[in-house]
Structure 1
Amino acid sequence: MKWDNFTADRVASFKCKAGCKQSIFWDGKTPGLGLRITASGAKSYIFQTELHGKTIRMTIGDQRAWSISGAQAEASRLKVKTDQGIDPRQVEAEKRAAREAAETARKAQESRETVTVIKAWEKYLTERKRFWSERHYSDHVNMMQSGGEKRARSSKLTVPGVLRSLANVRLIDLTQERVQEWANEEGAVRAGRARLAFRLLKVFLTWCGEHTDYREIIVSNAAKNKKAREILGKPETLNGALQKEQLPAWFNATKQLNNPVMATYLQALLLTGSRPNEISSLKWADIDFQWCHMTIRDKVEGLRVIPLTPYLSHLLAMLPRRNQWVFSSNSASGHIIDARKAHEKVCAIAGVTLDIYGFRRSFASLCDWVEMPAGISAQIQGHKPSALREKHYIRRELDLLRMWHVKIEAWILEQAGIEFIPTQAGLQVVK
C-alpha cells in the first residue's frame, strides 16, 4: 500500500494500474482517506478503517465534486466516529430512512389535501370491475357521469349522475354532514336512484378505508349515516302481480306491440319468472331447441339451466337472428337494455298496474294454481335456497323442472285464451 500526501498534481496524475479493474491510492496526511480510480478513469474519494475487528469502506464522493481539503475533512470526521465505535454507514442509513419517512409523510399529507372523490372512485372502478357484472359496473359509471352527452335513443342530453355533485369534494372533506346535504338534494328529486347511490357510496368508502392509498384519509365511513338514510326514506314495497283474470287482456296487449322482439321478451319474463337482465342478455348459443333447455346467467349461482317450454320455444324460433343476442336491438350493446316504455304501453292497453319486476312475482303467484312445489318454482326463477334442506340436499333433475314448467305454461295459456297445440313434428299452432 503506497502512501502519498495528496496534492492537486498528484491526484491528477494517479491512474489505474494496467490490467486492474481499480486502483486505490492513500493519503499520507489523513488516516483512512483514499482515492479510488477505475479502469475507465473515474476517480472518487473513499474512507476505509477498522471497526469492531472488521474493515469498513465508504465512498465520500466524486473527485471532481470534492476538493482535497474537503475530502480530508470528511475522512477525519468519519475517523472520529469510528474511533468512538460508531459505524458511519449505520448513521447514514438512519438519516436516509428518516428522509424517506419524511417524504412519505409529505406525500401522504399532500394526498389528504388533494385527492377527490372522483379520483378515488375511478381507481375503485378500475380495481373492482373484474369482480362485477356488466350491469353493476354500469350503475357505478352512471352514478358519477358528468352529463350533457347525447342519448342513444333521444334528442335530450344526459343528466349528471346522482353522485356527481360529490365528485370534486376532497375525500377528507366527505363528512356525514356533507352526505346529509347530498341526501337532501338528491332525495327530493330522484329518491329511488339516490337510495341505490347511497348504498354504492357506503361500499366505496369501506373499500377506501381498507386501501393503502386512502386508509389514512378515511377515518370513518361518512355513508354509515342514519340521518341520511332517514332522509332518503324506505323504498315502496312493490306487491303488484298479474292475476289470472288479467292474463287475456295482457297477452292481447302484447300482440299490439309493433316490435315482435319486445313482445316476445315481455312474454318470456312472465313465462320463466326470470330477472329482466337475465332474459335480455340471452344469446342464441344459450338456447338448445333440440333438447329444450336454456342456460341463464344467474346472479346467485352464476349459471342455471331451465326448461325451454313449448310455447316459449315457438316464440323464440320466430325471432330474427340479427346478431348473437336472442333479443336483439339497435342499442350499443346489441340487445334490449330498457323495456320500460314497451312494458308501460302493454300495461296501459291491458288496464293493469305492474312494474317490470312484477313478472317474477306473477310467475311465483300463478304457480300456486297448479300446486307447483315452492322449491321447483324457486329453482326455475333462480331464487337462493331459503332452507337448509333445499340448499344442501335437494338436486332436481331438469326433466322434473320441465314437467312442472310445461304445466304452468299450459295453464297460463289456457287462462289467457290462447290455444296452443304442439305437434309431433315439432311444429306449433297458435289460435
Structure 2
Amino acid sequence: MARPKKSDAPDLAQRLSLTVGAIERLTCPPGKQQAFMRDSEAPGLRVRVTAAGAKSYVYEAKLNRQTIRRTIGDVKLWSIEQARAEARRLAVLLDNGTDPRELERQQQAERAAEKVAQAEADLLATVTVGDAWQTYLAERQPFWGERHYADHVKMAKAGGEPVKRGIKFASEIEQSSKSASKAERPTTIPGPVYPLLSLSLRDLTTERVEQWAAEQAKTRPTYGRLCWRCLKVFLGWCAEHPVYSQALTTANPAKSKKAREVLGKPNVKQDSLLREQLAVWFDAVGKIGNRTVAAALQVMLLTGARPGEVLALRWEDVNIQWRGLTMRDKVEGERVIPLTAYVQHLLAGLPRRRDQEGQPVPFVFSSASSEDGAMTAPRKHHTQACAVAGIDGLTLHGLRRSFKSLTEWLEVPTGVVAQIMGHKPSATAEKHYTVRPLDLLRLHHERIEAWMLEQAGIQFDRVAEPGKLRAIPLHRAA
C-alpha cells in the first residue's frame, strides 16, 4: 500500500501524531459542518475543523456513558504540547470522577462572586454620607409629611444662597434699580448636617460625630439637637441597609452619650400669656403700624396654630362658606379648624397684593418686600409690642402655648384643644373612636375666642357682615 503524500489531507479515520503540517492540511470534508482529527499521543485530544476553515483543539471523552466535549483553544494560540498537557489534565479530572464542565461552572461562579465582592468593596470605600443621605430621603419621603421632608433638605443645604425673604432696600436704591444685585444681599449659612456630607460613610465614626456636635453646640445648640436626632435616625436606617450597614464602623455612631451631653438638654419653655395680660397684649399688638403683622399675631394666639402654619396660610385655604381654615400640618399633612368670627374679621381687613407681574399673591399674610410674597416671622414687631405691654420673654411659639394654657380656664376637653392645635391624639379612644365634625369644634373654639376677647376688653358685633365688623376696645376701670 502506497504511503500518502505529504501534500494530501490527513486521514480522519486514523489516529495521527499531531504535527503542524498535518494541522495545516486538515480540511472539512464536503457536506459536513465540522470534522475531527484525533491525536495518537494524548487520548481524547482532537483538532476540530469547521466548514468555514476555523481550527481549534478540543477534548472529547466519556463520562457516565455520556460524551463530553470541551474546547481547549484556537490552534493559532495553543501549541501542540500545550494542548496535549491540557488534554491530560482533563483526563485526570475525569479519571477522578470530576466533570470538567461542572468545575468550570463553579470557577465562573467564584469569579463572578469575587467581582461582586470587589465592586461592593469599591462602593463602600467611595460612598459618602451625602450619597446615603440622598438615598435615605428618597426612600423615606413617601412616609413623611411635606414639612418633615423639607426640614431634612434644609439641614443639609450648602448655604451661600441670597436670602429671599424680608429684604428691604433703601428708597434711593429702588429708584435707581428695580431689584438689588444678589451680591448685595446677605446669604444663607450651611445646614448643620452639610459638613458631614462629604465624608466617607466609613469615616463617620463616633468621635467624628462628637466633634461635630461640639461645633454645633457653640453656635446653634437648639437646631443642633434637632439635627443630631435626625442624624441618629438616619444612621439607624443605614445600619439596616444591606450595603450601607457594611460601611459603618459601629451600629450607630450618633448614639453617643458625649454628643448628647455636649449639645445639652432643651430648656422647658414657660413663656405664656396670663389671663390678666391679655388686655395689654391685644392693645399693644393693635397699635403695630403694620396691619398684616398685627393680624398674624392675633391669629396665632386665637387659633393656637404654629407660627409657620399661620404664615403659610393661603387665600384658597380660607373657606368662607363652611367657615373653615385649612392648616398645613407637619403631623398629619393638613387639618381643618374653625374660622371663628373675630379671625374672619381680621382676615377681611387684610390687603390682597399682586406681584410685579400683576399676578395675585396667594398668601393671606403677604409682604411687599419679600420675593415670594409671604411674610416672614414677625419676631421683631412682637418683641417691641411685648416691651410696650411690659411682657418679657414671650415668643411667637409662646402664643401657641398661651392658647393651650388659657383654655384651662374654660375646662374645654383636651381632645378638642389638641385637634384644633394639631397635636397627635394621646389615647386610643381619642385616636380611634372620637370623631369631631367641624361644627362641634367651632362650638368650643368660638367659646374660647369670645372668652379671650372678653378678658382683653374687646367687643364687636358677631352677627354683622365680616367686612363690616367693628372692633370696639373696652377700657376697664382701674
**For the superposition of Structure 1 and Structure 2, which TM-score range results when normalised by the shorter chain?**
0.7 to 0.9
Do the aligned partners of residues 282 and 88 (structure 1) sit closer, same or farther apart at CA in structure 2, a change above 3 Å counting?
Answer: farther
Matches within 5 A, 1:300-319: 300-319=331-350
* Residues 4-43 of structure 1 deviation map (CA, whole Å, 9 limit, x = unaligned): 867678679757987x9xx33223226264637588x877
CA contact 1:281–1:325 (8 Å) conserved in 2: yes
What's the secondary structure of 2:337's corresponding residue?
Answer: strand
Matches within 5 A, 1:268-283: 268-283=299-314
Query: Per-residue deviation at 1:199?
Result: 0.7
State the match for 2:441 in structure 1: 401
Indicate which of 415, 425, 428 corresponds to 1:375: 415
CA contact 2:327–2:334 (8 Å) conserved in 1: yes
Indicate which of 197, 210, 213 corresponds to 2:227: 197
What's the secondary structure of 1:221's corresponding residue?
Answer: coil
State the match for 2:103 in structure 1: 91
* Residues 242-263 of structure 1 deviation map (CA, whole Å, 9 limit, x = unaligned): 2233223333333444544443
Query: Per-residue deviation at 1:50?
Result: 3.3
Matches within 5 A, 1:55-70: 55-61=67-73, 65-66=77-78, 70=82
Counterpart CA distance in 2 for 1:104 and 1:17 is 47
Query: Per-residue deviation at 1:355?
Result: 1.9
Indicate which of 211, 230, 249 corresponds to 2:241: 211
CA contact 1:60–1:74 (8 Å) conserved in 2: yes
CA contact 2:47–2:55 (8 Å) conserved in 1: no
Counterpart CA distance in 1 for 2:460 and 2:440 is 22
Counterpart CA distance in 1 for 2:241 and 2:463 is 62
State the match for 2:383 in structure 1: 344
State the match for 1:187 in structure 2: 217
Query: Per-residue deviation at 1:44?
Result: 6.1
Counterpart CA distance in 1 for 2:240 and 2:83 is 49
Counterpart CA distance in 2 for 1:16 and 1:366 is 106
Indicate which of 189, 202, 223 corresponds to 1:159: 189
Task: Name the structure, 1 or 2, with higher relative contact order (CA <8 Å, separation 6+).
Answer: 2
What's the secondary structure of 1:357's corresponding residue?
Answer: helix
CA contact 2:155–2:192 (8 Å) conserved in 1: yes
Counterpart CA distance in 1 for 2:349 and 2:78 is 88
45-54 vs 61-70, which moves further: 61-70
User: How many residue pairs were aligned?
Assistant: 426
Query: Per-residue deviation at 1:366?
Result: 1.8
The gaps in structure 1 that reach 5 residues or longer are none
State the match for 1:230 in structure 2: 261
What's the secondary structure of 2:335's corresponding residue?
Answer: strand
Counterpart CA distance in 2 for 1:161 and 1:65 is 62
1:26 corresponds to 2:36: yes
CA contact 2:35–2:49 (8 Å) conserved in 1: yes
* Residues 90-138 of structure 1 deviation map (CA, whole Å, 9 limit, x = unaligned): 2222223333333344344444444333343333334333433343333
Do the aligned partners of residues 50 and 196 (structure 1) sit closer, same or farther apart at CA in structure 2, a change above 3 Å counting?
Answer: same
Question: AA paired with 1:347?
Answer: C
315-324 vs 400-409, which moves further: 315-324
State the match for 1:77 in structure 2: 89
405-414 vs 322-331, which moves further: 322-331
Rg comparison, structure with higher value: 2
Question: AA paired with 1:375?
Answer: G
* Residues 130-162 of structure 1 deviation map (CA, whole Å, 9 limit, x = unaligned): 433343333333433344443224633333332
State the match for 1:294 in structure 2: 325
State TM-score, norm by structure 1. Answer: 0.84
State the match for 1:117 in structure 2: 129
Percent identity between the aligned chains? 46
Cα root mean square deviation, aligned = 3.4
Counterpart CA distance in 2 for 1:282 and 1:97 is 61
CA contact 2:28–2:49 (8 Å) conserved in 1: no
Query: Per-residue deviation at 1:390?
Result: 2.0
